[in-house]
């Protein structure tokens, strides 16, 4: 639900609401500054009258251009001035980022090609089938596999948990003889077999230097967390987050778990602050997007693929067609052709999914003036934009046995390529513009060019950026100016952002703390504000997921919402409060804060302690009543003794090494004891937990 | 600022008049609402939706034992025709269909006409991808991926809740399922015991701190939500989920699925205004060694039906106002594959249970399993669009008057309903 729309739809309801509430509050005798508040809401459009104070502006800039201030950041930005800080952030390439790079250095997957990821992080089921085909399946592994019970094969019960949902289309070729026996074995299977099977797999992975595919997602998520916490190029990280949502891809869809590494590294990151047209092209060519929105299997109905093509359909052609087609062909050859044909026809053909989302979500916006006919035409333009061995080269490479060709196939698995044979080379008309026949891959490039430079795109991108950086209800005047800046700079993202950051709207009281942080923003800003350390591991990511925003875990192509109403709900709020408590009490393995460091200089007087943390976490700017509550809590607790945090408490924390990456299994729902909570033994931890959970810290 | 902020703040302000300060304000609304509705003759209806993720084999779940082709297509995994005294044969329903023997606990519900079946139902889209098909079943817009919200959420939007219960829609899952995503407020709780502030021995004191902080800032949408959240937390504490005792001797399976159902029963009995409950259960993707009367599928079905039967027993007379609906993204191939399993197919069977259900009948037209009757030469063909099943429940049970907004792009109408509800 877009705010603009809602505002338009309920203008009466809104005004009446203001009146009703004011009346209700007056009669309830708890008026305070409420009337003044609704008055401020009414004059919301007049931004120039209420500029931020200099101190507020420093905080505002640190919160919006980045993931909040670390200790010392406020002083630094004050010293150089917010304007120069903004200019620096607009040019990330000039900022030294050695610290963050060192933090992600040990995440091996980040540097691997997709092909390497397929080889070293195979999906167990797929790997076993390959070994079986090659006759290399170790006897013991084969035996435990036959004995295992159903659960291992089952897809996870929760799609958002990031499980690989799509099971392979071709069933494994089990040895012929033992079928009846197998069935018996499975009937009476010992529940422990499940564990034995897992153990056998783990053993095989260990002996052969392999790792489970979940590790790929875990490392990618860790890299996003680490960079957000440690990078000096804060704005670039904010933009990576922004574009990752704008061009959303779900890790749980088939091969996307493997493809997302390259997506972050080669597609989003290098283009996050450059030209929008480059970014758009990069996403269009990215295997992750091609897979997620099905374009990789979009084939012209008149294409020369498949049936009747065996003459020239040697191994190379098969490689080019991707393993799915090979698998299908094998299926056809081994089964009754009569019954396979209908499915073939149903599967081959144009897929409009990418074409539609490209216009609706990536460029023009839903009201951007395109028609269903345009969707069809754009889909035709993108036929043949596909992926080389989209699910890894294993089966396909096996199909052509070993040798240089198999080698080539292995190396290129999971890469983009344009397959002219799948392309519809006829004439198309897109948004009234004729695209002549015979253009080949150029057709898609022309479409991207039309879309990137369309005025509706400028408006759509400007609206989303203003909503992200200024307020949920993007001020219309600012959107106009930002869209103009976008068009004038040929879609230069830096130039567009500059138009926002130096606008009166951005620098107004109305924008100050106007945005509710999303869970990722809350998590990172909490660690940063306490000067914490983290390895970004799954135990931390799990909290982001619990609050509702697992990275790469959004199923549908629209990406996570950027407005408060999606994030302010009972379940999410409770998890936010619990997260703050867990962080403050050092109960999140792999993440650690040292509250002690903030206490050393001015002793332990309760009011001093509180002031200190209020200044640190919310810049001292908090409701007076909240202060009162905190003070009461602090006094109440000091009476209960228990010394403040010591070094020992910190050292009980798990090491920050990568161990816990291994032990993560997707959590099962239900039948579990209540989750362990934070242990709050001292007043300082409690106060910090409460401030992190305050409404003020939920906002930025 | 948005509309909800004002409504919510209004609620908070009302509570602070001190009219009924002893009970939480959202509960006041629920209680008031029930009284009001009660006098008008209507009571709050509840739907419990259960998703069998992974595509259950509907042909072995509800067996067409009267169809010869079924046995031809499945030489190894077919469930035997009903035979008195043979507990590995299908449980006959109507001379043509039978239940898988592991669904034994459904039989009494069938006999007392509380269980209806819709067979050959599902999505008209021909995708055989779990991901896409689950997406379509939850958005209820087959073929359209860009639909932002799930159909159960659109139902909530279609019928404003006067009481604005915080527990109006609860998913007993760790993350919010697609079917409940959308702008109407919903809750995902995997474990009711976790719905609180978790700070060990200082939990109460810390919660007190948060309540005080959130209790005073009424001008803020966060504060409004905070206040209501703690009302809910405190109320759940009184309900004391850890001490729950099922009624009528109901025994839930000691599995995550059984536990989810148990918690749904708790919420219904707690009277917190639950209207939509959702949970899911996985493991149905039986490509290999599916089994027939016994085996993988049988084990899963047993857990599945025992859980639902326990829920039914536990809720007792409350089932007058509750409907349980099961669904799965697509069916499986009519023919068994080379691994004693089945691959991804098309149409499937759905169960509908409740005291208001016209049970004891298999609804929908049976398309047959002969070669030429199969969809794309391999799967059970579709004769009931799942939106007609969902629509009947949204319209007749939950009582929305705006089916068009719940099922956009579909001409939903009572004429297409199968008639399993009165």
- CA-based R_g, chain A, Å: 28
Predicted pLDDT of residue B2: 36
Contact of B296 with chain A, judged by CB distance below 8 Å, is answered with yes
Q: Rounded to an integer, what distance in angstroms lies between the CA atom of residue A578 and that of residue B57?
A: 41
Tokens found for residue A415: 């890469």
If you search the block for the tokens 């050292």, which residue do you land on? A651
Interface of A with B in 6-45 (CB under 8 A): 6, 10, 13-14, 17-18, 20-21, 24-25, 27-28, 30, 33-34, 37, 41
Go through A278-299 and write b for each residue having 16 or more CB atoms within 10 A of its CB, e for each that does not. ebbbbbbbbbbbbbbbbbbbbb
**Are B178 and A625 inside 8 Å of each other by CB?**
no
A-B Cβ pairs (cutoff 8 Å, strict): 320
Q: Residue B117 pLDDT > 90, yes or no?
A: yes
Angle between helices A73-80 and A54-64 (to 10 degrees): 120
Cβ contacts of B277 on chain A, cutoff 8 Å: none
Contact B315, B88 (CB under 8 A): no
Predicted local distance difference test score (pLDDT) of residue A115? 93
Whether A319 contacts A396, CB under 8 Å? yes
pLDDT band at B38 (very low <50, low <70, confident <90, very high): very low
pLDDT of residue A503: 98
In the predicted model, what is the mean pLDDT of residues A582-610? 86
Mean pLDDT over A257-285 rounds to 98
Nearest alpha-carbon partner for A68 in A572, A486, A616: A616
Local confidence band at A231 (pLDDT 50, 70, 90 cut-offs): very high
Q: A159 vs B377: CB contact, 8 Å cut-off?
A: no
Which pLDDT score is estimated for B132? 85
- Cα B422 from Cα B415, distance rounded (Å): 14
> What pLDDT is attached to residue A565?
81
Tokens found for residue A126: 């797929």
Coil, helix or strand at residue A513:
coil
Task: Identify the pLDDT of residue A599.
Answer: 83
Q: How far is A452 from chain B (nearest CA, A)?
A: 21
CB–CB of A14 and B202 under 8 A? no
Mean predicted confidence (pLDDT) in B121-150: 91
> DSSP E strands: which ranges in B339-407?
348-353, 361-363, 384-385
Q: Are A677 and A581 in contact (CB under 8 A)?
A: yes
Give every CB contact of residue A402 below 8 A, 6+ residues apart in sequence: none
pLDDT over 70, % of chain B: 89
User: Are B378 and A339 inside 8 Å of each other by CB?
Assistant: yes
**When comparing pLDDT for B219 and A457, which is higher?**
A457
pLDDT value of residue B4: 36
Separation CA B338–CA B287 (nearest Å): 9
Q: Strands A385-388 and A415-418, how do they pair?
A: antiparallel
Contact B4 A633 (CB under 8 A): no
Instruction: Give the tokens for residue A596.
Output: 């002690």
- CA A340 to each of CA A334, B116, B331, B375: distance values in angstroms, whole numbers, following the listed order: 10, 34, 18, 11
**pLDDT for A666 beyond 60:** no
Average pLDDT across chain A, whole number: 78
Does the beta-carbon distance from A17 to B3 stay under 8 Å?
yes
List CB contacts of B395: < 8 A, sequence separation 6 or more. B401, B403, B412, B414, B417
Token pair 């002969």: residue: B370
**Strand B187-188 to strand B169-171: parallel, antiparallel, or no bridges (unpaired)?**
parallel
- The residue in chain B having the minimum alpha-carbon distance to the alpha carbon of residue A678 is B199
Indicate yes or no: CB of A342 within 8 angstroms of CB of B377.
yes
- Chain B, 327 to 366: residues with Cβ < 8 Å from chain A are 337-341, 343-344
What's the gap in Å between the CA of A259 and the closest CA on chain B? 17
Rounded to 10 deg, the angle between the A683-692 and A624-638 helix axes is: 160
Among the partner-chain residues B4, B130, B339, the one whose CB lies closest to the CB of A174 is B339
Q: How many C-beta atoms lie closer than 10 Å to residue A623's C-beta?
A: 18
Q: How many Cβ atoms sit within 10 Å of the Cβ of residue A433?
A: 12
Q: Residue B40 — pLDDT band, cuts 50, 70, 90?
A: very low
Question: Is the model's pLDDT at A24 over the cut of 50?
Answer: no
Both tokens of A641, joined, read: 């003794």
| Residues across chain B | 422
Q: Determine the length of chain A.
A: 700
Cβ-defined contact of B196 to A173 (cutoff 8 Å): no
* Out of A352-366, A390-404, A405-419, least confident range: A390-404
Cross-chain residue pair B213–A693, CB shorter than 8 Å: yes
pLDDT at A374 over 50: yes
Minimal CA separation from A472 to chain B, in Å:
9
How far CA A33 is from CA of A26, A46, B224, in Å, comes to 11, 20, 17
* CA atoms of A512 and A699, how far apart (whole Å): 9
Quote the pLDDT of residue A312: 38
Query: Lowest-pLDDT range, A293-307, A500-514, B15-29, B211-225?
Result: B15-29
B301 chain-A contacts, CB cut-off 8 A: none
Helix, strand, coil fractions of chain B, as percent rounded to 5: 40, 15, 45
Task: State whether B219 and A670 contact (CB < 8 Å).
Answer: no
CB count within 10 Å of CB A662 equals 13
Contact criterion met (CB below 8 Å) for B108 and B313: no
ipTM of this model?
Answer: 0.77
**What is residue B34's predicted lDDT score, i.e. its pLDDT?**
54
Mean pLDDT, chain B, rounded, equals 88
Give the strand pairing for B348-353 and B322-327: antiparallel
Across A2-12, average pLDDT: 34
* A 181-200: CB under 8 A from B: 182-183, 186-187
Cross-chain residue pair A21–B13, CB shorter than 8 Å: yes
How confident is residue A49, by pLDDT bands cut at 50, 70 and 90? low
The better pLDDT of the pair A315, B141 is held by B141
Q: How far apart are CA B356 and CA B54, in angstroms?
A: 29
Measured CA to CA, the distance from residue A269 to residue A286 in angstroms comes to 13
| Rounded Cα gap, residues B288 and B238, in angstroms | 47
What span, in angstroms and rounded, lies between the C-alpha atoms of A437 and A166?
Answer: 36
> Cβ A571–B233 below 8 Å, yes or no?
no
The pLDDT, as a whole number, for residue B218 is 62
Confidence of residue B358 (pLDDT cuts 50, 70, 90): very high
Q: Which of A451, A417, A453, A423 is nearest to A437 (CA)?
A: A423
Residue A219 pLDDT greater than 90, yes or no: yes
On whether the CB atoms of residues B193 and A674 are closer than 8 A, the answer is: yes
């Amino acid at each position: 639900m877009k705010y603009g729309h809602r505002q338009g739809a309920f203008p009466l309801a809104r005004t009446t609401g203001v009146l009703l509430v004011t009346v209700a509050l007056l009669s309830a005798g708890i008026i305070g500054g409420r009337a003044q508040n609704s008055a401020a809401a009414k004059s919301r459009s007049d931004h120039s009258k209420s500029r931020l104070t200099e101190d507020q502006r420093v905080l505002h800039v640190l919160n919006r251009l980045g993931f909040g201030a670390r200790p010392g950041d406020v002083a630094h930005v004050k010293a150089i001035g917010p304007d120069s800080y903004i200019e620096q952030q607009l040019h990330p390439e000039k900022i030294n980022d050695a610290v963050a790079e060192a933090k992600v250095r040990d995440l091996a997957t980040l540097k691997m090609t997709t092909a390497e990821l397929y080889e070293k992080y195979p999906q167990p089921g797929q790997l076993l089938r390959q070994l079986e085909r090659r006759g290399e399946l170790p006897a013991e592994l084969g035996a435990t596999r036959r004995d295992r019970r159903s659960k291992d094969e089952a897809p996870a019960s929760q799609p958002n948990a990031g499980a690989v949902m799509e099971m392979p289309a071709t069933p494994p070729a089990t040895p012929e003889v033992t079928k009846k026996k197998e069935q018996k074995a499975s009937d009476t299977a010992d529940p422990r077999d499940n564990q034995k099977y897992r153990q056998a797999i783990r053993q095989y992975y260990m002996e052969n230097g392999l790792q489970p595919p979940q590790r790929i997602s875990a490392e990618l998520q860790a890299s996003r967390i680490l960079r957000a916490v440690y990078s000096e190029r804060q704005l670039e990280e904010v933009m990576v987050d922004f574009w990752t949502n704008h061009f959303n891809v779900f890790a749980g869809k088939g091969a996307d778990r493997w493809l997302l590494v390259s997506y972050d590294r080669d597609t989003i990151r290098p283009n996050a602050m450059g030209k929008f047209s480059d970014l758009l092209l990069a996403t269009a060519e990215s295997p992750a997007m091609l897979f997620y929105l099905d374009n990789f299997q979009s084939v012209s109905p008149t294409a020369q693929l498949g049936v009747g093509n065996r003459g020239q359909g040697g191994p190379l052609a098969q490689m080019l067609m991707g393993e799915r087609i090979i698998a299908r062909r094998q299926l056809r050859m081994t089964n009754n052709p009569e019954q396979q044909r209908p499915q073939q026809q149903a599967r081959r053909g144009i897929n409009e999914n990418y074409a539609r989302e490209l216009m609706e979500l990536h460029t023009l916006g839903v009201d951007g003036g395109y028609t269903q006919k345009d969707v069809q035409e754009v889909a035709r333009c993108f036929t043949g934009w596909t992926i080389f061995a989209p699910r890894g080269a294993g089966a396909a490479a096996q199909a052509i046995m070993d040798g240089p060709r198999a080698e080539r196939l292995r190396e290129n698995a999971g890469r983009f390529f344009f397959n002219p044979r799948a392309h519809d080379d006829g004439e198309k008309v897109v948004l009234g513009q004729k695209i002549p026949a015979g253009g080949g891959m150029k057709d898609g490039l022309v479409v991207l060019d039309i879309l990137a430079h369309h005025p509706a795109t400028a408006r759509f991108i400007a609206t989303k950026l203003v909503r992200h950086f200024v307020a949920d209800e993007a001020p219309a005047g600012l959107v106009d100016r930002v869209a103009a800046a976008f068009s004038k700079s040929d879609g230069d993202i830096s130039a567009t952002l500059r138009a926002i950051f130096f606008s009166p709207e951005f620098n107004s009281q109305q924008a100050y703390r106007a945005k509710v942080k999303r869970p990722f923003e809350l998590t990172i800003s909490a660690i940063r504000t306490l000067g914490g350390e983290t390895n970004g591991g799954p135990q931390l990511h799990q909290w982001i997921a619990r609050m509702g925003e697992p990275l790469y875990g959004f199923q549908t192509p629209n990406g996570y919402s950027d407005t408060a109403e999606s994030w302010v709900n009972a379940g999410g709020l409770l998890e936010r409060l619990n997260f703050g408590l867990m962080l403050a009490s050092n109960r999140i393995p792999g993440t650690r804060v040292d509250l002690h460091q903030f206490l050393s200089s001015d002793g332990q007087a309760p009011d001093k302690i509180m002031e200190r943390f209020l200044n640190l976490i919310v810049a001292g700017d908090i409701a007076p009543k909240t202060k009162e509550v905190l003070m009461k809590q602090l006094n109440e607790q000091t009476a209960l003794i228990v010394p403040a945090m010591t070094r020992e408490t910190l050292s009980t924390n798990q090491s920050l090494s990568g161990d816990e990456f291994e032990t993560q299994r997707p959590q099962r729902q239900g039948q579990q004891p209540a989750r362990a909570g934070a242990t709050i033994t001292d007043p300082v931890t409690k106060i910090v937990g409460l401030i992190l959970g305050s409404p003020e810290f939920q906002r930025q | 600022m948005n509309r909800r902020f004002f409504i919510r703040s209004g609620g908070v302000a009302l509570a602070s008049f001190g009219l009924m300060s002893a009970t939480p304000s959202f509960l006041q609304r629920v209680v008031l609402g029930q009284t009001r509705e009660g006098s008008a003759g209507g009571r709050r209806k509840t739907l419990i939706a259960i998703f069998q993720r992974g595509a259950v084999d509907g042909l072995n779940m509800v067996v067409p034992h009267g169809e010869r082709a079924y046995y031809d297509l499945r030489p190894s995994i077919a469930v035997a025709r009903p035979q008195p005294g043979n507990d590995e044969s299908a449980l006959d329903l109507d001379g043509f269909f039978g239940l898988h023997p592991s669904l034994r606990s459904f039989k009494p519900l069938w006999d007392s006409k509380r269980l209806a079946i819709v067979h050959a139902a599902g999505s008209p889209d021909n995708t055989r991808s779990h991901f896409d098909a689950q997406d379509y079943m939850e958005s209820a817009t087959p073929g359209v991926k860009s639909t932002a919200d799930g159909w159960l959420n659109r139902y909530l939007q279609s019928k404003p809740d006067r009481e604005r219960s915080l527990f109006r829609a609860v998913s007993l899952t760790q993350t919010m399922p697609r079917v409940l995503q959308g702008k109407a407020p919903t809750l995902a709780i995997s474990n009711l015991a976790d719905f609180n502030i978790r700070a060990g021995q200082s939990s109460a004191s810390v919660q007190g701190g948060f309540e005080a902080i959130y209790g005073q800032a009424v001008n803020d949408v966060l504060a409004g939500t905070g206040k209501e959240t703690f009302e809910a937390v405190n109320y759940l504490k009184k309900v004391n989920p850890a001490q729950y005792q099922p009624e009528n001797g109901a025994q839930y399976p000691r599995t995550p699925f059984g536990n989810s159902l148990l918690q749904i029963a708790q919420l219904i009995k707690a009277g917190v205004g639950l209207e939509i409950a959702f949970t899911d259960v996985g493991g149905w993707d039986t490509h290999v060694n599916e089994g027939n009367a016994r085996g993988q599928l049988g084990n899963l079905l047993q857990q599945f039906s025992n859980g639902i039967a326990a829920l039914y027993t536990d809720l007792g007379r409350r089932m007058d106002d509750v409907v349980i609906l099961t669904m799965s993204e697509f069916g499986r191939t009519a023919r068994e594959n080379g691994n004693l399993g089945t691959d991804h197919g098309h149409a499937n069977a759905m169960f509908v249970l409740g005291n208001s259900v016209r049970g004891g009948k298999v609804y929908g037209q049976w398309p047959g399993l002969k070669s030429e009757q199969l969809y794309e030469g391999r799967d059970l063909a579709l004769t009931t669009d799942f939106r007609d099943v969902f629509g009947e429940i949204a319209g007749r049970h939950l009582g929305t008057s705006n089916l068009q907004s719940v099922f956009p792009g579909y001409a939903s109408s009572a004429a297409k309903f199968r008639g399993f509800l009165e």
